[in-house]
A and B are shown apart, each in its own frame.
Chain A
């Protein structure tokens, strides 16, 4: 009977992993009032909820939450805070995660992919550097702005589809703009030329132009899971305005802003991920174990019933044993977690349009849906006007989609 006991123990162990729709790592921790008070000291009241989530979700979602706070701070015009938060996200993105414990666990059959620390897909990583670069531009630190845009462009090379690698024309253009503002004309020319190559609407600015107008619209691409076991990562387009050209009207000057980036396109054109093969393997394992378990459980139950009915103790025990093994296989199938990681940075826009102008950073109105948020950063050498059709501060919750469940 020892083997029956052992089998039961194995079943119990696997059962503990099964049935949970949420794994431990998907739950937020309880943040003590004292810890929260320390963390919120000096932080804008509008972002207190976000900082609480940052603490509760920890390092696993640090990139996600720092990026969200950074973009929100940018919208508020708190550039120093935006830069600090976005740099915190960018530093983690640039850190090489080799031999990382959580990343190793994500490869296991019984742990979801989302146990790994979030770094985002290439389009999300690139957009973190985009906002970081904008923060540096707003501060007048053109060299670090350029470095950020270049680093963002490098993140885009992660695409497996060669024709879509490093095709983030927006970042090339901004790298050129940062160089222009820094007086590095040759570097600027090179970068503008690459931007124009990828997107013909992005013509190099004239030498006299010193203000960049950026208008963002729509909502971030949303990730969702598909497949029998949610093992496939898919992206759907968020809210879009459908307007490619925006007019900005400062001081009666009608400035046409051209499409510089379609974020959904960047999200949907990367090709497959290497991790997809591993998730498909987990799904296959789940299917295989479930089918095997069903057969064994049926055979075992039948044999046990026959033994019990016929008064054959040995047959009943053998049947029970097969039943237990079948249940273990079923439990293992249940415990397998092929779910794709569908956390995503929801503060990104759907599209980015831009134009350069010679006039100062004067306030003006935008065509189309208009702009709920406009931030102007005049600067000594170069000015930046950043606008967004809808305020993310007003529309988005403090918790990123699919990031973690509240502490209970």
Chain B
């Protein structure tokens, strides 16, 4: 009986030794399989988020601004539909976030154009070069006049969207919380008088903290 127990103890020791030695071998690479493409709801935060402007903010702000502009009598209820320019040319980014401002301007213009149903006219000033070339071709007789006829000049505009993106960052080093206040100012300026005929602000504050391993 005694011999049997000792033999088992010896066997266990040898096993432990063998396993310890084998544990010192490297075990190869675990390759991550990745994530299949999935469609995300653009109106909600996605899996990768920060404290700056994200897709859902652009959608929400463009929608809010569009609705508010549609309530402006000078814009949406004028006797003669006003001509407006809505692009990012005079929309300044002063914030700490890199952004393609066209995302905001394009969304706003498209939304307005569809909602206005003729109550506003939109001048595509950023395409002026393209228009100028076509006009030149028509006037030189290289191409015909097409179907809508000629105008004396390209369309002038009554109003233009201007604005500014600004932000204020702060951090609490004791908790690791980082916070960004973002304010986007939208204004419609009368291109003859310089008077602002409509203005609004969209703002939000986001706060988050990285895992302690990053602090």
Residues of chain A touching chain B, judged by Cβ–Cβ distance below 8 Å, are 1, 4, 8, 11-12, 15-20, 22, 24-25, 27-30, 58-59, 87, 90, 94-100, 103-104, 106-107, 113, 116, 119, 132, 136, 143-144, 146-148, 150-151, 153-154, 157-160, 162, 165, 182, 184, 187, 273-275, 278, 304, 308, 311, 313, 316-317, 320, 324, 327, 331, 407-408
Say yes or no: A143-B92 contact (C-beta < 8 A), given A154-B171, A158-B171. yes
Residue contact B211 to A144, C-beta cutoff 8 Å: no
List residues of chain B with CB within 8 A of the CB of A165: 173
Min C-beta distance of B91 to chain A, whole Å: 10
8 Å CB contact of A97 from B28, B98, B214: B214
Residue contact B208 to A96, C-beta cutoff 8 Å: yes
List residues of chain B with CB within 8 A of the CB of A320: 9, 12
- In the complex, A313→B24 CA distance in Å? 33
A-contacting residues, B20-43, CB 8 Å: 20, 23-24, 26-32
List residues of chain A with CB within 8 A of the CB of B173: 157-160, 162, 165
8 Å CB contact of A327 from B9, B16, B31: B16
Residue contact B29 to A12, C-beta cutoff 8 Å: no
Say yes or no: A147-B212 contact (C-beta < 8 A), given A8-B16, A27-B26. no
Min C-beta distance of B14 to chain A, whole Å: 11
- In the complex, A30→B16 CA distance in Å? 32
* B: contact size bracket: 35 or more
Other A-B pairs, 20, CB within 8 Å; known A103-B214, A274-B176 = A11-B19, A15-B16, A15-B20, A15-B23, A16-B19, A16-B23, A19-B24, A24-B27, A24-B29, A96-B209, A113-B213, A119-B214, A147-B98, A147-B99, A154-B96, A158-B215, A162-B173, A317-B9, A320-B9, A320-B12
A to B CB contacts below 8 Å, 16 in the list: A8-B12, A12-B19, A22-B26, A27-B26, A58-B32, A59-B32, A95-B48, A96-B51, A98-B211, A132-B98, A143-B94, A154-B178, A275-B214, A278-B213, A327-B16, A408-B26
Whether B142 sits at the interface, judged by CB under 8 Å, is no
Q: Report the nearest A residue to B97, measured CB to CB.
A: A147
8 Å CB contact of A19 from B6, B23, B101, B178: B23
Scoring B23, B26, B209, B212 by chain A CB atoms within 10 A of each residue's CB, the highest score goes to B23
Min C-beta distance of A67 to chain B, whole Å: 16
- In the complex, A25→B30 CA distance in Å? 7
Whether B193 sits at the interface, judged by CB under 8 Å, is no
Residue contact B48 to A274, C-beta cutoff 8 Å: no
A-B contact count (CB 8 A): 154
Whether B210 sits at the interface, judged by CB under 8 Å, is yes
Whether B183 sits at the interface, judged by CB under 8 Å, is no
8 Å CB contact of B20 from A19, A27, A146, A148: A19
Residue contact A275 to B215, C-beta cutoff 8 Å: yes
Whether B15 sits at the interface, judged by CB under 8 Å, is yes
Say yes or no: A143-B93 contact (C-beta < 8 A), given A4-B12, A59-B32. yes
Min C-beta distance of B209 to chain A, whole Å: 6
- In the complex, A313→B8 CA distance in Å? 12
Residue contact B169 to A116, C-beta cutoff 8 Å: no
- In the complex, A159→B51 CA distance in Å? 19
- In the complex, A273→B213 CA distance in Å? 9
- In the complex, A312→B166 CA distance in Å? 82
Residue contact A106 to B99, C-beta cutoff 8 Å: no
Min C-beta distance of B57 to chain A, whole Å: 14
Whether B124 sits at the interface, judged by CB under 8 Å, is no
Encode contact with A along B191-215: 1 for CB under 8 Å, 0 otherwise. Answer: 0000000000000000011111111
List residues of chain A with CB within 8 A of the CB of B30: 24-25
List residues of chain A with CB within 8 A of the CB of B8: 1
Whether B151 sits at the interface, judged by CB under 8 Å, is no
Min C-beta distance of A16 to chain B, whole Å: 5
Residue contact A87 to B98, C-beta cutoff 8 Å: yes
Whether B152 sits at the interface, judged by CB under 8 Å, is no
Residue contact A187 to B96, C-beta cutoff 8 Å: no
Min C-beta distance of B149 to chain A, whole Å: 38
